[in-house]
Amino acid sequence: MTAYALRRLALAVPVLFGVTVVVFLVIALVPGDPALAILGSYATPESVARLNAELGLDRSLPARYLAWVGAALTGDLGRSYALDRPVLDEVLERLGPTLILAAAALTLSVLFGLAAGVASAVRQNGWVDRTIGLALLLGVSTPSFFLGLLLILWLAVGLGWFPTGGMSALFGGGGVVDLLRHLVLPAVTLAVVATAILGRLTRAAMLEVLRQDFVRTARAKGVEEDRVISVHALKSALVAVVPVIGLQAGYVLGGAVYVETVFQWPGVGRMLVEAIGRRDILLVQGGVLALATLYVAINVVADLAQAALDPRLEA
């Protein structure tokens, strides 16, 4: 297991390298003159040149990449000129709320997605299966930004059960209960699409497993059907589903952009949208880099979980 974990970690290194290159290039190749964008169109050519030198923009691309990555490794992601504070500080402050939201949504989608997929597969082609199948298709097709609006109108404005948006600080604010009240609607909104994708995949994986000979063996041994489904079939299906849970983390982190905007959730997603509007390029760069790194880490964990489930993968 340790050897497998080390190998899997080693595989993440080139991916992370690629991620930094892409993040760097996307921003480095921005059309137009960043210094001009920062200083405004009334800047003198001298001050533009000075700022370019300050930002290191007069050097070659590889040199700039190395400087940028070196600084990033020491935690220096530059300064947000609009907020006038270090990018790292802002990103870290926004990361907490996004993690809470994404973790809640992912948990919901795993619970409901697995349950829907298993229930659907066990009653394949019956009315339960058809109903769940249709619900999952609707789920996959849901624009979360619209669903969020509907939930606000209905459950927050209409019934007043939940706040319309915002988030109180975990410490010093309304405490855990208040945090949960603020969390329910955004987390549900964010979970819908991931639930639907996981549900469809779980159904397919379960059907595949239920056809396997070892399931027949378990039944021939007289194992209770609940146990056949939960221990024999579901565990095997999870080998296929767990990596996809990791991938769903990507949809959840990306979809957080919409949900945080609709619910005014103070996370990285909303920060990115605001930063793009202000052309605060370094802040965008830092936010994207942070979420992408997090995503790579989540997928490493998902692969390790898969290996823990399936002893054949360790070899």
Partner 1 sequence: MSVLVRLARQPFALAGLALVAVFAALALAAPLLPLPDPDATEPANRLAALGAAGHLLGTDQLGRDVLARLIFGLRVSLAVGVAATLAAALVGGTVGLVAAFYGRWVDGLLMRLVDVLMAFPYLLLALAVVAALGPGLTNAALAIAIVNVPFFARAVRGQALGIVRQDYVAAARLAGFSDLRILLSEVLPNVAPLLIVTAATTIGWMILETAGLSFLGLGAQPPQADLGSMLGDGHKVVVAAPHVAAAPGVVVFVLVVGLNLLGDGLRDALDPRMKGVESGAPQPATRVERGMTGAGSGPNDSAAVLDVRALTTAFATPRGSFPAIRDVSFTLQAGEALGIVGESGSGKSVTALSLARLAPTPPGTIVSGEVRIGGADVLGLGLDRLRRLRGDRIAYVFQDPLTTLNPLMRIEAQIVEAIRPAPGEGAKAVRTRASALMADVGLPDPERIARAYPHELSGGQRQRVGVAMALANAPDVLVADEPTTALDATTQGRILELFARIRRERGAALIFVSHDVGVVACLCDRIVVMYAGEIVEEGPARVVAARPLHPYAARLIACAPRLGQPDKSLAPIPGAPPAIDARPDGCAFAPRCDHAVAACRAGPIGLEEAMEGRRVRCIRWRELSGEAA
Q: Which of residues 225-254 bind partner 1 (CB under 8 A)?
A: 225, 228, 232, 235-236, 239, 249-254
Neighbours of 236 (CB within 10 A): 20
Considering only residues 283 to 302 of the shown chain, the ones binding partner 1 according to CB under 8 A are: 284-285, 288, 291-292, 295-296, 299
Q: Binding residue for partner 1 (CB under 8 A) from 21, 63, 111, 176?
A: 21
35 near partner 1, rule: CB under 8 A: no
The dihedral formed by the CA atoms of 289, 290, 292 and 295, expressed in degrees to the nearest 10: 170
Gap between the Cα atoms of 36 and 107, Å rounded: 45
Q: What is the DSSP annotation of 206-217? A: HHHHHTSHHHHH
Q: How far is CA 81 from CA 37, 116, 269, 282, in A?
A: 11, 47, 19, 8
Q: Could you tell me which of 138, 176, 174, 183 has the C-alpha nearest to residue 156?
A: 183
User: Residues 6 or more apart from 54 whose CB is under 8 A from it?
Assistant: none
Minimal distance, residue 166 CB to partner 1, in Å: 15
How deeply is 315 buried, as exposed, middle or buried, from its count of CB atoms within 10 A (0-12, 13-18, 19+)? exposed
Q: Binding residue for partner 1 (CB under 8 A) from 257, 265, 266, 307?
A: 257
Minimal distance, residue 124 CB to partner 1, in Å: 6
61 near partner 1, rule: CB under 8 A: no
Gap between the Cα atoms of 87 and 78, Å rounded: 6
x/- string (CB under 8 A) for partner 1, residues 201-220? ---x-xxx-xxxxxxxxxxx
Minimal distance, residue 84 CB to partner 1, in Å: 19
275 near partner 1, rule: CB under 8 A: yes
Q: Binding residue for partner 1 (CB under 8 A) from 30, 53, 169, 180?
A: 30
1 near partner 1, rule: CB under 8 A: no
Considering only residues 114 to 133 of the shown chain, the ones binding partner 1 according to CB under 8 A are: 121, 124-125
Gap between the Cα atoms of 28 and 50, Å rounded: 18
* Closer Cβ to partner 1, 88 or 269, answer by number: 269
85-86/79-80 β-pairing: antiparallel
Considering only residues 152 to 171 of the shown chain, the ones binding partner 1 according to CB under 8 A are: 152-153, 157
Residue pair 29/14 in contact (Cβ under 8 Å)? The answer is no
Considering only residues 172 to 191 of the shown chain, the ones binding partner 1 according to CB under 8 A are: none
19 near partner 1, rule: CB under 8 A: yes
Residue pair 272/282 in contact (Cβ under 8 Å)? The answer is no
Q: Which range of residues in 43-51, 84-92, 171-179, 306-314 is near partner 1 by CB under 8 A?
A: 306-314
* Closer Cβ to partner 1, 179 or 239, answer by number: 239
Considering only residues 81 to 120 of the shown chain, the ones binding partner 1 according to CB under 8 A are: none
Minimal distance, residue 2 CB to partner 1, in Å: 18
